[in-house]
Amino acid sequence: HLRELDVIYMTRVQKERFADLQEYEKVKGSYRLVAEDLNRTKKNSIVMHPLPRVDEVDPSVDSSTHAKYFQQVGNGVILRMGLLGLVLGTL
Say which residues have a Cβ less than 8 Å from residue 24's Cβ, sequence separation at least 6.
13, 15, 18
Count of domains forming the chain: 1
Q: Residues 63-88: pLDDT tens digits?
A: 999 999 999 999 999 999 999 999 99
At 29 the pLDDT is 84
Quick: pLDDT tens for 9-33: 999 999 999 999 999 999 988 889 9
The answer for residues whose C-beta is within 8 angstroms of residue 31's C-beta and 6 or more apart is: 10, 13, 56
Its pTM stands at: 0.84
Measured torsion, CA atoms of residues 10, 82, 71, 34, in degrees rounded to the nearest 10: -10
pLDDT tens digit string along 36-57?
A: 999 999 999 999 999 999 999 9
Per the structure, the complete domain to which residue 8 belongs is given by 2-88
Give the CATH number of the domain where residue 60 resides. 3.40.50.1370
Confidence grade of residue 91 (pLDDT, cut at 50, 70, 90): confident
Query: How far is 74 from 27, CA to CA, in rounded Å?
Result: 30
CA angle 59, 10, 48 (to 5 degrees): 75
